[in-house]
Amino acid sequence: MKTGILIYDSYADRCDIRFGLEEYYGGLHCGNTFEVLIEDRWIPSRIEKAEEWYLIGIKTKDIQGLQVRI
């Protein structure tokens, strides 16, 4: 598994995972699954989009900056 930070790519209008300075996952799509680090626990989740991108089972208004592993 690789660990990175969830970011928003405004050019592609998608979320992505940044693994390093120039290494990215390549753009997430609705239904992609991964784990999110919340209070020192890895929680399984899935990304979806309505008006904004959100994570299933993760209660937060802003998903950018969350640590994820895929």
Which domains are seen in the chain, by residue range? Answer: 3-69 (2.40.10.390)
Rounded-to-integer distance, Cα 19 and Cα 4, Å:
4
Q: Residue 61: pLDDT above 90?
A: no
- Put the strands of the sheet holding 53-55 in their side by side order: 14-18, 3-9, 67-69, 33-38, 41-49, 53-55
* In the chain, % of residues over pLDDT 90: 99
Q: Is the pTM of this model over 0.85?
A: yes
